Amino acid sequence: MWGRRDMNDLLFELPLPDYFDLNACLAYMNRSPLECLFRPDNEGVNRLFMPEGKPLLVRLTTAAEQPPRLQVTLLSGAVPGAEATAGLVRYIVEWFDLDRDLAPFYGIAGRDPLLQPLAVSERGLRIIGIPDLFEALCWAILGQQVNLAFAYRLKHRLTAEYGTSLEYEGHTYYHFPAPEVFLEVTQEELCSLQLTRNKARTVLEVAALIAGGGLSREELLALPSPEEAEARLLKLRGIGPWTSQYVRMRCLRDTTAYPTGDVGLQNAVKFLTGMDRKPTPAELLELAVPWKGWEAYATFYLWRALY
């Protein structure tokens, strides 16, 4: 799936599918300077990984020559072994949804008056995933009923306090903490970072469940349908429909996920349609009938109308 070159810093290359544009993805990833888990610029993105517990800082760019390839180069750390490299490949493929054929989505979007302009302006944008279940759940929990900027600040505080970091060329790179880290953490400690008591409790309960093997991404993906995965998530205290839909979309790579309770989605539709109020969930469901099977991608593109 990847090929090594006789270059010290190049770890591997990944073939790129049709309808992929790293620049479109970077534009989305650059939407907030408060993001702490990766550092994008105009040409690529740097991210800290921890394969086998060892810090590995890599940079993703696209090859200048044809055929189109995603190049993954080593910035800091030891060259990983075959197993760790394979895990890194899987993560990046899921991070950028690289094995998805977007031709059907663009066929739908090209016939839809709401999506058509976005399908042109954002051509090649992929859903930027969160392949780690604990990170995805925490990000969704932190984002409940707060604005995006404050959610980013909460994530930064949580990551800086309990995660791993690496200094490189004047920047601090962070890796999100593993659920096991929170087994000895108290609600009061999380509340001191400005999490509400409910959010702190939910983060700790989810961490304990995942660390103890009671919940995993593999388990959710093995269920017969995305709806059953959502039902499993909804059994968790503090996890509601918006959070479960968000995790289906960003972590479980479910293209049918459709968070009708998402304020960003509501505001995007209101803005693009000229409505004098936010659309109701029923109106959003009716609007999405032509998008069947691609609701998550429609949502992701509609968000780009706002940020």
pLDDT 10s digits, 167-206: 999 999 999 999 999 999 999 999 999 999 999 999 999 9
- Give the burial string for 7-28 (b: 16+ CB within 10 Å, else e): eeeebbbbebbebbbbebbbbb
Residue 222 lies in a domain: yes
Domains contained in the chain, number: 2
Q: Is 145 left (phi over 0), alpha (psi -120 to 50) or beta?
A: left
Report the pLDDT value the prediction gives residue 140, as an integer from 0 to 100. Answer: 96
* Token digits of residue 293: 């099977």
Last residue of a domain, one of 250, 272, 302: 250
| Statement to judge: residues 138 and 244 lie in one domain | yes
Mean pLDDT of all residues in 32-40: 96
| Statement to judge: residues 142 and 210 lie in one domain | yes
Domain of residue 73 covers 10-99
| Statement to judge: residues 205 and 150 lie in one domain | yes
Residue 37 lies in a domain: yes
Q: What span, in angstroms and rounded, lies between the C-alpha atoms of 173 and 38?
A: 7
At residue 123 the predicted structure's pLDDT band, cuts being 50, 70 and 90, is very high
Residue 187 lies in a domain: yes
| Statement to judge: residues 87 and 167 lie in one domain | no
Report the pLDDT value the prediction gives residue 160, as an integer from 0 to 100. Answer: 98
Residue 104 lies in a domain: no
pLDDT at 4 over 90: no
| Statement to judge: residues 138 and 243 lie in one domain | yes
Residue 261 lies in a domain: no
- Among candidate residues 6, 97, 262, 276, the one labeled active-site is 262
Which residue, 306, 304, 307, 272, is CA-closest to 287? Answer: 272
Q: Is 262 a catalytic residue?
A: yes
At residue 8 the predicted structure's pLDDT band, cuts being 50, 70 and 90, is low
From residue 152, give the alpha-carbon distance in Å to each of 142, 147, 157, 158, 264: 8, 9, 9, 10, 15
| Statement to judge: residues 48 and 144 lie in one domain | no
Residue 145 lies in a domain: yes
Contact 257, 245 (CB under 8 A): yes
Q: What span, in angstroms and rounded, lies between the C-alpha atoms of 139 and 142?
A: 5
- Give the burial string for 192-224 (b: 16+ CB within 10 Å, else e): ebebbeebbbbbbebbebbbeeebebeebeeee
Task: Give the whole-number percent of the chain exceeding pLDDT 90.
Answer: 95
Report the pLDDT value the prediction gives residue 307, as an integer from 0 to 100. Answer: 81
| Statement to judge: residues 180 and 81 lie in one domain | no
| Statement to judge: residues 242 and 140 lie in one domain | yes
* Token digits of residue 151: 């959610």
pLDDT at 1 over 90: no
pLDDT at 115 over 70: yes
CATH of the domain at 150: 1.10.340.30
pLDDT digits (tens, 9 = 90+) for 47-68: 999 998 999 999 999 998 999 9
